[in-house]
A and B are shown apart, each in its own frame.
Chain A
Amino acid sequence: MAATLHDSIVEVVEGYLGPAAQRFVDRQIKFHLHKPPQEITGADLAQLTEWMRISMALLTDNRQLIDECLQRLVQLV
């Protein structure tokens, strides 16, 4: 079965948040985009990455790391 955009997002975020990645991504999508995580589309990505920038800033002071993660997410579409 082909990987969905949701799977790809989780895979990228796993490089930063490990096993907590899927929980983090799903929470961001549900809470900020108000939709089931699996229904995320390319059109939602810009909005999601902006929210993730704010949320990840609470977890690390390393801006470079956050930028790198979000850059990889943007490149998914």
Chain B
Amino acid sequence: MAETSTNAPDSAVIEPAKVSSSAATVRPRLHTGWAYSGLAVVSAAYLVLTIWAPVSPQTLHTYSLSVLTLHLLQLTVVVPVIGIWFIALWGSLRFKRYALAIYHDPDGRALNLVSNGLLLLVGSLAITSLMQALIPRLTAVGDGTGWSILTHHTTVVLALLAFATMFVGSLRLARLVQLRDFQRWQWLVFAALLVMGVVYAIVLVHDPYRTQTTNPTQHPSYYLTDGWILGTIVLPYLLSWYFGLMAAACLWMYQVYSPGVIYRRALSRLSVGLVVIIATSVLIQLLSAAASSLTRLGLSDILVLLYVLIIVYALGHVLVVIGARRLTTIEEVQ
């Protein structure tokens, strides 16, 4: 079609327009093999560490489980979680490829920043899960304190970096639509943050094991004093949630006020997907922070909550893939 297209198209003789898949047009080269291989290694290590972790007799007693049943239950959570990591990586890389294809324009550079933040968020999820899986084994040999503190701080620092990067990118997108509704969204985010902060504070105050414990079967949640918990865990988390929620708000603003009927429809899948991912990630972080209180719930409640979060998180990434694919089609059609 391309070689003879200088004359006006005649519907009787021309081939239909096509979506080019040629790397020479706009599709950038993105070496995804390393990312998938790395995730496969992390996943294998996570699976092994989770299943081979020392079993706490208190856990077996609390939930009336045998060791075999516990391992089977762990598998029903760990295997879907690993599946979600791969879906998340697939979605993030698809989004990254789209952003790189239009990197020479302001919307492309902003979207590229958002995609960097998303990749960091997905990577941090796998890395910190692996670090957490190591805690029981190191604790069993009496060396878990340092590792536990490092894991908590790595989790919060990576979340902060990921959400801050997404926020900077999405703020640039919101500027492209003149920051319309920005103030209103900022107040809504502050209100949400206040609620989350209060919930987090209540959970922490009611956690008797947050700094130390006299119970030999129960390890401290943080191994830190209240001052250190507030300064190095709570406040950075609140800041990262502010960045995450504001990133979601800016993406929403950009999708609502972007010009272009067809573009907006394609963008809506991507932005809704990103908003779902950010909201789910923030919720997962809040629940992880409240993990010790969750043990008061029944096992089935905890599992249902986990599965719902996993499914919603995965749906967010599937929406990102669909949106990125539609937007890429706009950039590739000839």
**Residue ranges of A at the interface with B (Cβ–Cβ < 8 Å):** 14-24, 27-28, 31-34, 46-47, 50-51, 54-60, 65
A56 proximity list for chain B (CB < 8 A): 262
Q: CA A31 – CA B17 in complex, angstroms? A: 11
Query: What are 29 A-B residue pairs whose CB atoms fall within 8 Å in the complex?
Result: A14-B259, A15-B259, A16-B263, A17-B330, A18-B258, A18-B262, A19-B259, A19-B260, A20-B102, A20-B330, A20-B331, A21-B260, A22-B105, A23-B102, A23-B105, A24-B333, A28-B334, A31-B334, A32-B5, A32-B6, A47-B8, A51-B9, A54-B17, A55-B333, A56-B262, A59-B262, A59-B329, A60-B265, A65-B262
Expressed in whole angstroms, the minimum distance between the Cβ of A46 and any Cβ of chain B is 6
A18 to B266, alpha carbons, bound, how many Å?
A: 11
A18 vs B8: C-alpha distance when bound (angstroms) = 26
Evaluate contact between B333 and A16: CB separation under 8 angstroms.
no
- How many contacts between A and B, using CB within 8 angstroms? 92
Most-contacted residue by chain B among A16, A18, A46, A65 (CB, 10 A) = A18
Q: Is the CB of B9 within 8 A of A50?
A: yes
Residues of B within 8 A of A15 (CB): 259-261
Q: Are B262 and A16 in contact (CB under 8 A)?
A: yes
* Residue B33 lies at the interface, judged by CB distance under 8 Å to chain A: no
Assess the B17–A58 pair: CB atoms within 8 A.
Answer: yes
Q: What residues of B have a CB within 8 angstroms of the CB of A34 in the complex? A: 5-6
* Residues A24 and B330 in contact, CB atoms below 8 Å apart: yes
Chain B contributes a number of interface residues (CB within 8 A of A) equal to 34
> Please, which residues of chain B bring their CB within 8 A of the CB of A18?
258-260, 262-264, 267
Q: Mark B82-122, 1 if CB is under 8 A from A, else 0.
A: 00000000000000000000100111000000000000000
Give B214 Cβ to nearest chain A Cβ, in Å.
Answer: 61
Closest Cβ of chain B: how far from A68's Cβ, in Å?
10
Dominant SS at the A interface? helix
Nearest B-chain residue to A13, judged by Cβ: B260
Q: Are A19 and B6 in contact (CB under 8 A)?
A: no
> In the complex, which of the residues B6, B14, B105 contacts A33, with contact meaning CB atoms closer than 8 Å?
B6
Whether A19 and B9, one on each chain, are in contact in the complex, defined by CB atoms closer than 8 angstroms, is no
User: Is A31 a contact partner of B263 (Cβ separation < 8 A)?
Assistant: no
Pick from B14, B105, B262: contact of A17, CB under 8 Å: B262
Q: Please tell me if B51 contacts chain A, counting CB pairs below 8 Å.
A: no
A51: which B residues are within 8 A, CB to CB?
5, 9, 17
The answer to whether the Cβ of B47 comes within 8 Å of any Cβ in the partner chain is no
